Amino acid sequence: MRFRSFGGLEGLVCPDINPLNFLNPLNPLNKSVISLPKFENRQKFKIMKRLNLMALGLMLATLATAQIHLSLTLLDDGKTYQVAMTPESTWESPKNTTGSVQVVVAAPVGEGFLVKDLKSQVPGVTWLDDTYVESPPAAPGWTFISFVIKELGTKAFRYEAGVETPLFTFRSASGDCANGLQLLSNDDPMVRAVVKDKFNVTQSLTVLGMRGNAFNGLVENKVECPEQLQALPESWVSEIKASPLPAASFVDFKWVNGEGLQSLELQLFNEKGQIIKQHKLNTNPGAQTFHAETDRMSQGLYSATFIANGKQRQTLRLTVMP
């Protein structure tokens, strides 16, 4: 197992240090709060105890309503990866103050993955592939790559409910597409096992509006390389739209089929990247519609992917609020 750090930033091995932890009255780093003096007056001690319990309740309630989803996709060139976020809430300044961000991408060891051409998609924010954790004991077949921001406490991020915002793009140093790259949820068994070995490979977006980590799941979390890159005709499927959004009890898809379309499939993914529904769609040329019920779907973010002739994929983001 090897551990490498780049960019001059530390913090991967210290999973609990958080730039906004001063907002947490139970933070063990805040000695002035948890080191209570021995009050002779028991009533004062009871009051302090109640305040701490109330603070704990508020903190847990906040964590239960985390608001941001991450996605990892392969762009049309078949070589460039993009990480994006989609908030469920809108946070204006100063609530958009972002203390720190860590996005962890897992890559199979066999790919020998190294990052190149890392480019920020957020003006005023610099991204670093800061740390590589290679073959940790709990996950010997994986390398965990930590992407972090240089500007701590920035207000450069825009958090708008239901709007996807690209964060950064990158490529493989090999120049080719690397199979199997993925984002993992913080409750993934492999992530938990690696964290027990004191390596912080968790996703984290520390936002003032949430008083802590606002990460709450994934949409499109795994990338598979196409077997053969080829020019796909845009005329197969075009003008894809979905309404109403956010969806309550249903969502209607509208699009136009072109010539040469032999098969068309619609797949709906939840925030963990799992397929929850899939439908075979009409392939006749011309304008098409499809009605999908959403009233039994849990509130959250979903993705709808149209797959034409088993090759061309086009994805829309959906917010469901039944």
Could you tell me the CATH number of the domain that includes residue 311? 2.60.40.1930
CB 11 within 8 A of CB 99: no
Shared domain for 163 and 287, answered yes or no, is no
pTM confidence score = 0.58
CA 238 to chain centre: 27
Of 218, 251, 285, the one marking the end of a domain is 218
pLDDT at 45 exceeding the cut of 90:
no
Each residue's pLDDT tens digit, 265-293 = 998 877 656 788 999 999 999 999 999 99
Which pLDDT score, from 0 to 100, does residue 319 have?
Answer: 81
Reading the block at residue 113, the tokens are 């993955």
Mean pLDDT of the chain: 79
Burial class (CB in 10 A: 0-12, 13-18, 19+), 230: exposed
Which pLDDT score, from 0 to 100, does residue 40 have?
Answer: 45
More confident residue, 140 or 31: 140
Q: Collapsing DSSP states into helix, strand and coil, what is residue 56?
A: helix
Residues 186-204 have a mean pLDDT of 95
Whether 38 maps to a domain, the answer reads: no
Shared domain for 290 and 201, answered yes or no, is no
Would you place residue 300 in the very low, low, confident or very high pLDDT band (cuts 50, 70, 90)? Answer: confident
pLDDT at 299 exceeding the cut of 60:
yes
Shared domain for 101 and 149, answered yes or no, is yes
Which pLDDT score, from 0 to 100, does residue 24 have?
Answer: 40
